[in-house]
Amino acid sequence: MFYGVELGSRLMLGTAQYPSPAVLAKAMEVSGTEVITVSLRREGSGGSAFRDLIAGSGCRILPNTAGCHTAKEAITTAHMAREVFGTNWIKLEVIGHADTLQPDPFALVEAARVLCADGFEVFPYTTDDLIVGEKLLDAGCQVLMPWGAPIGSGQGLRNSAALKTMRAHFAGVPLVVDAGIGAPSQAAQAMEMGFDAVLLNTAVAKAVDPVAMARAFGMAVSAGRLAHDAGLMPARDMAAASTPIFGMAELA
């Protein structure tokens, strides 16, 4: 549940870089997603056809502040996005490093504090740092979105130990793995850890067959969460026979 909204799908899908609007529409449909992210820049360049497509998708829109490098720029973009899309939801990105696209934790917390006070329901794109996560919650965020790896890299969960620690530390907080996921198996891994959702874009949009890949990610997210809820077996240091010794026949 995110800000009081219960969703049936744990896959959030980006809307950029698809080969055509028709492919995007079909990918959204087959993935089962109920949340799509849209940047104000993308909406502005897509024209009325793109606006009609996302409006008719039936999905909840999560505008983002992609491309912002300062708190002031992100805050201004968020206010514009609220006017355009008519929602208080905002995916907050404040990029601090040009190569890795790593968030600027100081500007991120600053912008989050202002936006939460202004009535926004903020989804902050952050690293897997526990202290930054605490500061974002103190600022008013009710969701954290740690990266799996740098945006668009497809590296998957590059620091799975840190993500597991974050999941354990923020036990009652909705957590979404955002960025870096390149394969359905990586999305399933995040769900098996107990994350509440995954958000991705490039792995689907740039696939040879985006529609088939969207379907694969939808299935992987469902399977990963089902496995988590069913109770995964713990890893063992030694082998353990699956067939019990007791009751076996003794052959002379």
Could you read off the pLDDT of 44-98 as tens digits, one per residue? 555 677 888 888 888 999 999 999 999 999 999 999 999 999 999 999 999 998 8
- Amino acid at residue number 93: E
Percent of the chain as helix, strand, coil, to the nearest 5: 45, 15, 40
Q: Domains along the chain?
A: 11-230 (3.20.20.70)
The answer to whether the CB of 130 falls within 8 A of the CB of 169 is yes
The answer to the question of whether 201 is labelled as a binding residue is yes
Banded model confidence at residue 183, pLDDT cuts 50, 70, 90? very high
The beta-strand segments (E) located in the chain are 11-14, 35-39, 60-64, 89-92, 121-126, 145-146, 176-178, 197-200
The answer to the question of whether 172 is labelled as a binding residue is no
Give pLDDT, residue 245: 65
Active site (catalytic) residues: 91
pTM over 0.85: yes
DSSP 3-state of 169: helix
Chain centroid to Cα 207, Å, comes to 18
Give the residue among 211, 80, 102 at the shortest CA–CA distance from 147: 102
Determine if residue 24 is left, alpha or beta; phi over 0 gives left, psi from -120 to 50 gives alpha, anything else beta: alpha
The answer to the question of whether 202 is labelled as a binding residue is yes
Q: What is the pLDDT of residues 62-71, one digit of tens each?
A: 999 999 999 9
The length of the chain, given as a count of residues: 252
